[in-house]
Structure 1
Amino acid sequence: MENRALPENWARCRVTELAQLIRGVTYKKSEASKESQPGFAPLLRANNINGRINHEDLVYVREARISNEQWLKESDVLIAMSSGSIGLVGKAAQLRKVKGETFGSFCGALRPTSEIDCHFFGWFFQTRTYRECVSGDAKGSNINNLKRDHILHVDFPLPPANEQRRIVEKIETLFSRLDKGEEALRDVQKLLSRYRQSVLKAAVTGQLTADWRAENAHRLEHGRDLLARILQTRRESWEGRGKYKEPIAPSTSGLPDLPDGWVWASLAQLTHIKGGVTVDKKRESKNPVTVPYLRVANVQNGHIDLTEIKEITVNRDKAEQTLLKAGDILLNEGGDRDKLGRGWVWDGQIAPCIHQNHVFRARPVIPEISSRFVSYYANAFGQGFFMQKGKQSVNLASISLTAISGFPIALPSADEQREIVGRLEEKLIEVATVAEWCKTELTRSAALRQSILKDAFTGRLVPQNPSDEPAAELLARIRAARQAAPKGKTRRKATA
């Protein structure tokens, strides 16, 4: 904690003097239920804590497993005591309403004394100072853990009781205004997301270029003729390599009508599709080479994320077969449902670079096929097709090379492809500019919250009143009450 001087009439103490820390319910996974049922209570875990309590993705445990003190009470502060992420351990939220919940063993609940303003106590655990203090204490090889003393020995700046109430009133007035502003910004973000998808679909279906197409119809190559040239190029490039197999044509049943001059084509007709290398650390290569490779995490919707690039050792021949070239279209083969089929164009940012088997590479047959147009089209309509044709489990989905080959693409002339990409990207730049502004304003709002809390807990948010009872007297009364309280053990309910 920052060791700055406190205002007159304030006192410095430790959390242990103001609250008791209760650890959560221990239970076996086989004993928990995903559904509410008689004799079971909802159990909050670390994923339910994020500044506020959310009730998403709850599990339910037998009430017989819950001791009397493990039933959460209004004003308890729930803390994540263990987490695989150092950024999550120590996060906290105060319960403003209770719904008969308990909490898991990876969490702790601070129950403040009634002598202090419970909401003042709760707001302290949203400060950056608190988080920095406990994150420095969390230790563990795989899991970051906070011990009881890490929480209970945190320094706590205590003002007079009346000032606590004035501070809470001021915090909540200011935060209410920030809440309204942030809600408006998030509404804008949702609208931007819908607008972006709407513009994307309008572009790749020809709506965005309807006026341009009408003005230039006399000089545009029909998509049918472009497709014929593509297929002829495929056949010619295969000569001397054995029997040629025509690429799968798209199934046009149920597809919408196209603008004049457009034609339906399959991904396999327009591109050469190839899977990547399988990651297998045990496999030995006779002629090894170590190269960077792209994973599902690198291939995002509309961009390539190069934040973390891993390397793999493979046979040199295999590396050459899966080597990426500028203009290659990348599409995710599987993973979480939201990752299936998303992708973007490789611009040759790293050389050499290959791709793993969960990422398909689609290389245009001729330069007149715009990689960006095809990728935009896939991002607009691909996921529905991939989900329909692929394999699905509860959370995961995947699609085979054969299935993805039949993905239908509405193909205009090469000139219109370029016009579509140009117009679309102008719109997307506008969207990105507003989205970045929203992000900046939300960041600014979060910083302002921390500034308000910093002022609150250093005595600068509201004026001090010399007539308030000094915090030292309040603290002495709390200590005396704790000394006088009977020492007893909380009894656990009998297990049913």
Structure 2
Amino acid sequence: MEVLDDVIAAARLVPLSEAVEVNPKIDRTALHDDLDVSFVPMAAVEALSGGIDVSTVRKYAGVKKGYTHFRDGDILFAKVTPCMENGKMAIARKLVNGVGFGSTEFHVLRPRAGVDARYIYYFVSSQTFRKEASGHMTGAVGLRRVPSTFLEEQLIPLPGIERQREIVAELEKQFSRLDEAVANLQRVKANLKRYKASILKDAVEGRLVPLEAELARREGRTFETGEQLLQRILEARRKEWKGRGKCKEPVAANTAGLTPMPSGWTWATIEQLTYLVTSGSRGWGDFYSDNGVLFIRAQDIKTDALNMTGLARVDVPVDAEGSRSSVNANDILVTITGANVTKSALVPMLSEPAFVSQHVALLKLTSSDTAAFVFNWLVSPANGRETLEKLAYGAGKPGLSLEQVRALPVALPPQAEQDRICEEIERRLSLVRGVESEVDANLKRAQALRQATLAKAFSERDQLC
């Protein structure tokens, strides 16, 4: 980094507006309605990497009003929270006909003569710059924006063009090494994800531990089969029925098209294994409180586990149905609407009352002993999750009905085999989580090193003030 220190030391500090034109006016003289142009929504710009997808093409007639204009070589700078804080900045390159239009939440920085676009990109995308920009945002909470005046007035060390290129070359040399390391770490994460999926698939299809039927045969003893376990659960369900009228028998699994079960296993449905499948009441969002009971939303189970950090709280409405949507240990939660649909959680022991939102299905198992296996079936990508995703994304807005959840087929092994399966799943996945934790820590270190490199590259500007 010595070359960067020497180069920056020789630079002069100027307002950013002397290096770039902020939000330049559009020159329409060469544009006509039938002209193909690139279209770049906010989602097309990656966070931190500088990646940008310019493959979407639209006619100029359809974008000439209501969108931000830019051209090849311009820097796009997300001005709105949280996109700016997340580092959504990029250099527009390879635009169709050299012209692009996109989200109005972009500021456009056009380098002036003698200024390298990459030098500007690295400066404004650095964590140091973004942190300062965040402190100057204006507007309402949740929709704050960086004003263009902030960009125009920020000081930037600006050496000559050749020296700018030296800095960029040095940064990119170091970043290429980092990018290679990050790519290797991402490959490890992808392999771990596939390994987890294979563990779950083998587990819930009877290939992870010895079958109870086989062990019983070897040991010359009898055992409770999955079918016998199901009948025991159904009998308990009838005895414990607290609804109106006579207990309605749940619908059995439609086995047409389902794979044959291992010896001693049977097919069941979620409805057969539960005494209640419900969801939270509507309108509880109006009762958020600092001191109420825990309120579990879809975002709290988006990792297939209940994240207790940042759980909302509500004051239970006086006329609420209360216990119907209350959550207890060994209940299963399934997201039924929104971007996280099918994401699930097995509820651990809770130290205080909790309820679910209307976007989360609550499954109460008749036998809590089956909860762990049923959960693993639900989240197995090749089994329960695959079926639920087909239902959720079949048509229109992603979503599941409670009837679809109740009718979901579930493989049911003998209880003793379920216990062994879940123990082995936990043993193997605990090892995976350890590796994942180390990979994530190294990814964070790589990102921190990248930001430290950028900070060092431009740090001398404070000494020159």
- Per the TM superposition, whether the score is higher than 0.5 is yes
Task: Report the equivalent of 1:93.
Answer: 90
Instruction: Decide whether the 8 Å contact of 1:294 with 1:309 is kept in 2.
Output: yes
Counterpart residue number, 1:171: 171
Percent identity for Structure 1 against Structure 2: 26
SS in 2 for 1:43: strand
CA distance in 2, matches of 1:290, 1:122: 46
Q: Against the structure 1 CA distance between its residues 123 and 243, is the aligned structure 2 distance closer, same or farther, given a 3 Å change threshold?
A: closer
- Per-residue deviation, 1:246: 1.3
The equivalent of 1:488 in structure 2 is none
For 1:274-319, what per-residue CA distance to the aligned partner results, in whole angstroms no more than 9, with x for missing partners?
Answer: 31332226999xxxx9643322222335311222323143346711
- Between Structure 1 and Structure 2, whose CA radius of gyration is higher? 1
How far apart are the structure 1 equivalents of 2:209 and 2:120? 59
Cα distance, 1:321–1:168 mapped onto 2, change above 3 Å: closer
For 1:142-180, what per-residue CA distance to the aligned partner results, in whole angstroms no more than 9, with x for missing partners? 532222221111110123444322222211111111111
Alignment partner, residue 30 of structure 2: none
- How far the C-alpha of 1:209 sits from its partner, in A, is 0.8
Which amino acid in 2 is paired with 1:386?
L
SS for the counterpart of 1:122 is: helix
Unaligned runs of at least 5 residues, structure 2: 27-32
Q: Show CA shifts across 1:407-431 (max 9, x none).
A: 1111111111110001001111121
Residue of structure 2 in register with 1:487 after alignment: none
8 Å contact kept, 1:86–1:144: no
Aligned to 2:185: 185
- Please report the TM-score for the alignment, with normalisation by the length of structure 2: 0.83
1:228-268 Cα shifts (integer Å, max 9, x gaps): 21122222334996433211101111111111111111111
With 167-176 and 96-105 compared, the bigger mean Cα shift is at 96-105
- The aligned counterpart of 1:77 is 75
The Cα of 1:365 is off from its aligned counterpart by: 1.5
* Cα pair distance change 1:354/1:123, threshold 3 Å: closer
Structure 1 unpaired stretches of 5+: 26-36, 461-470, 472-496
Using the alignment, how far apart are the partners of 1:182 and 1:231 within structure 2? 51
Output the CA distance in 2 between the equivalents of 1:390 and 1:90: 32
Find the counterpart in structure 1 of residue 58 from structure 2.
60
* Aligned pairs (5 A) from 1:362-441: 362-367=363-368, 369-380=369-380, 381-389=383-391, 392-399=394-401, 401-441=402-442
Amino acid at match of 1:234: R
Alpha-carbon distance in 1 for matches of 2:150, 2:272:
63
| 8 Å contact from structure 1 (residues 274, 361) kept in 2 | yes
Matches of 1:283 and 1:8, distance apart in 2: 56
The change in CA–CA distance for 1:92 and 1:386 in structure 2 (over 3 A counts) is closer
Does the aligned pair in 1 maintain the 2:241–2:275 contact within 8 Å?
A: no
Show the counterpart of 1:41: 37
- Deviation string, structure 1 residues 14-41 (Cα, Å, up to 9, x no partner): 111112112588xxxxxxxxxxx94342
| SS in structure 1 of the partner of residue 157 of structure 2 | strand
Which amino acid in the other structure matches residue 128 of structure 1?
Q
Question: C-alpha separation between the residues in 2 aligned to 1:106 and 1:388?
Answer: 34
Whether contact under 8 Å (1:15, 1:151) holds in the other structure is yes
- Aligned equivalents of 1:220, 1:298: Cα separation in 2: 39
Q: CA deviation at 1:112?
A: 1.5
Give, in angstroms, the shift of residue 5 of structure 1: 12
- Residue 490 (structure 1) aligns with: none
Distance 2:77 2:458 in 1: 20
Q: Please report the TM-score for the alignment, with normalisation by the length of structure 1.
A: 0.78
Kindly report the root-mean-square deviation, in angstroms, between the aligned alpha carbons of the 2 structures: 3.3
Q: Secondary structure at the match of 2:250?
A: coil
Aligned AA for 2:260? Answer: D
Q: 1:11 to 1:219 in 2, by over 3 A?
A: farther
Secondary structure of the structure 1 residue equivalent to 2:108? strand
Closer, same or farther: CA 56–221 of 1 in aligned 2, 3 Å = farther
CA distance in 1, matches of 2:367, 2:106: 58
Equivalences, count: 436
State the match for 1:195 in structure 2. Answer: 195
Quick one: higher RCO (CA 8 Å, sep 6+), 1 or 2?
1
Q: Give yes or no for contact 2:138–2:147 (8 Å, CA) kept in 1.
A: no
- Partner of 1:243, secondary structure, is coil
Per the alignment, residue 467 of structure 1 pairs with: none
Match of 1:476 in 2: none
SS in 1 for 2:207: coil
Residue 93 of structure 1 aligns to a residue in which SS? Answer: strand
TM-aligned CA distance change 1:405 to 1:240, over 3 Å: closer
Contact 1:24 1:102 survives alignment (8 Å): no
Deviation, 1:181, is 1.2
